Structure formats: structure tokens, C-alpha cells
Amino acid sequence: MVHRILIVTAVAAEADSVSAGLGLGAPELLPLPGGLVLRRHTESPGARVLIDVLVGGVGPAAVAASTGTALAYAALTGTENPYGLVVSAGIAGGFQPLAPLGSVVVSSAVVAADLGAQTPDGYLTVDELGFGRSAHPVPKALTDRIAAALTAAGLPHTVAPVLTVSTVTGTAGRAAELAGRHPGAAAEAMEGFGVAEAAAAYGVPVVEIRAVSNAVGPRDRAAWRIGEALHALRHTSELLSKTVFMELEPS
């Protein structure tokens, strides 16, 4: 039985880091509807494990559409098994001091941080408004295994909620507001919730893995350490491809 994992990034530089870390050689390129291209990595011809990497676009809407396309395509074509895990991966802002630059955050939950309504009495989530959901849980057994692999390799990491925002935080006030509303959240990025919504529609578990490139707070693009974060993302992919990704039960 083939065991399939879909890893979705926002931009090509993130996908390149993930692909390089997997250490499975050059991927096969599979065109998908909508102009998307899936990078398919396998151990060898006829392999048991198949890892697809998708550049899904920036922001929750773009990535929900692209992830949904990849999942629909897998469900509708051929006799292959559908995916058993979807991973949202990339760089992120880290809430300080929980997630230092260059460290990795593994999501305990994937949370939409600005999907709701402002009211005179404060912010209400879509759940509170009765429209849907604003968080996806991540199986604890999965985050435990990922954390164990990162711990064994001495890679600094945190398991905590990861926020999805449509606007990158650029002030101390907004950072404090988000931290107050989501105590314990360690990172913010722009795609996790979109990936998670698509995965949930197909009943596939999801986890978000983020390497921290910058602090959440006053905008200072010069202080972003994108190279360090991409290196941590590559290292994480390498570790997981040798451990957790290979050990998951085929669906």
C-alpha cells in the first residue's frame, strides 16, 4: 500500500528547502488543474512512501484553493490511495520569547486569528458568531512524534498553536492583541488555516510546521533572517523524512 503525504508551502523558496531536505532526489513534476505543479518525491520506483510538495500561494484563500485542488485531484484520479497527512510548511513570525529566530514551531492547533468580527465588546470568532470554525486541532500523537525527532537532533522547537493571519503583524500593539487573544501561540503565518480547511474537507489530518524568520511585532524587514529559517526548514524536512514521515501508517 502506498503511503502519501502532501506538503504545502506558500512560495517556491520554501518548497525548495523542503524538497532538498527530503533527500529523495529530483522530483517528478505533475501538472494539476489551475496551473499548479506537484513535485512528487519517491524513495525509488514502486516505492511505498510518496511525498508531494506543492507551492500553494501566499495567504489562506490562495492556499485553500490550491490544496483543495491537489486533494480533489488525488481523490478523483486513478487507483492511488488518498493522502494520509497534509503538512503546511514554511517560514513564519515568532512570538517572543516563545519562538526565537531560527527555531521551529510545530502546531498543536492551526488557528484563524482574524476570521471573525470586531464588536464594541471585543473580538468574536466565527465559532462565537455561529458561522463555522476558527481552529483545527492537530493529533497529539503526531506532534509528539515530530517533537521527539526534533529533540533527538537538538533542533530548537516549540509545540504550540500557530496563528493564520491575512495581514502580517507590523506593530507592537497588534502583536500584544494577538498574544492576549491566543495565549501560548508561538507563531503567525498566512496559510495554515487555509490548508487545514481543505484537509478537513477530505478528512485528512493536518499539521503546520514553521521555521521562524522574524519576530512578530514592529515591522523591520531588514531584521528578517530568511536564510536561517529556510535552513531550519530544510533540516526539519530532512529529520522528518528519515523518521516520522516514513513511519506513518499507510491509509
Ligand X SMILES: O=C(O)c1cccc(C(=O)CC[C@H]2O[C@@H](n3cnc4c(=O)[nH]cnc43)[C@H](O)[C@@H]2O)c1
Q: By CB under 6 A, name the binding residues for ligand X.
A: 10-11, 13-14, 58, 90-93, 165, 168-169, 188-191, 213-214, 216, 226
Residue 250 three-state SS: coil
Report the candidate in 3, 84, 87 with the shortest Cα–Cα distance to residue 42: 3
Nearer Cβ to ligand X, position 147 or 162? 162
Q: Measured from the CB of residue 171, what is the shortest distance to ligand X in angstroms?
A: 12
Q: Measured from the CB of residue 180, what is the shortest distance to ligand X in angstroms?
A: 17
Q: Which residue has the cell 503538512?
A: 87
Q: Measured from the CB of residue 251, what is the shortest distance to ligand X in angstroms?
A: 27
Is the torsion defined by CA of 238, 243, 247, 248 positive or negative?
A: negative
Nearer Cβ to ligand X, position 105 or 135? 105
Nearer Cβ to ligand X, position 30 or 65? 65
Name residue 41's amino acid.
Answer: H
Report the candidate in 200, 205, 176, 212 with the shortest Cα–Cα distance to residue 91: 212
Nearer Cβ to ligand X, position 15 or 150? 15
- Gap between the Cα atoms of 36 and 22, Å rounded: 21
Q: Measured from the CB of residue 121, what is the shortest distance to ligand X in angstroms?
A: 27
Fill in the DSSP letter of residue 223: G
Q: Show Cβ contacts of residue 200 under 8 Å, excluding neighbours closer than 6 positions.
A: 136, 206
Q: Measured from the CB of residue 43, what is the shortest distance to ligand X in angstroms?
A: 27
* Residue with smallest beta-carbon separation from ligand X: 93
Please say whether the beta carbons of 205 and 142 come within 8 A: yes
Nearer Cβ to ligand X, position 202 or 224? 224
Q: Measured from the CB of residue 194, what is the shortest distance to ligand X in angstroms?
A: 10
Nearer Cβ to ligand X, position 74 or 99? 99
Q: Measured from the CB of residue 24, what is the shortest distance to ligand X in angstroms?
A: 21
Nearer Cβ to ligand X, position 5 or 165? 165
Name residue 53's amino acid.
Answer: V
DSSP string, 110-159: EEESS-EEEETTEEEEHHHHTS--SEEE--HHHHHHHHHHHHHTT--EEE
Please say whether the beta carbons of 194 and 164 come within 8 A: yes
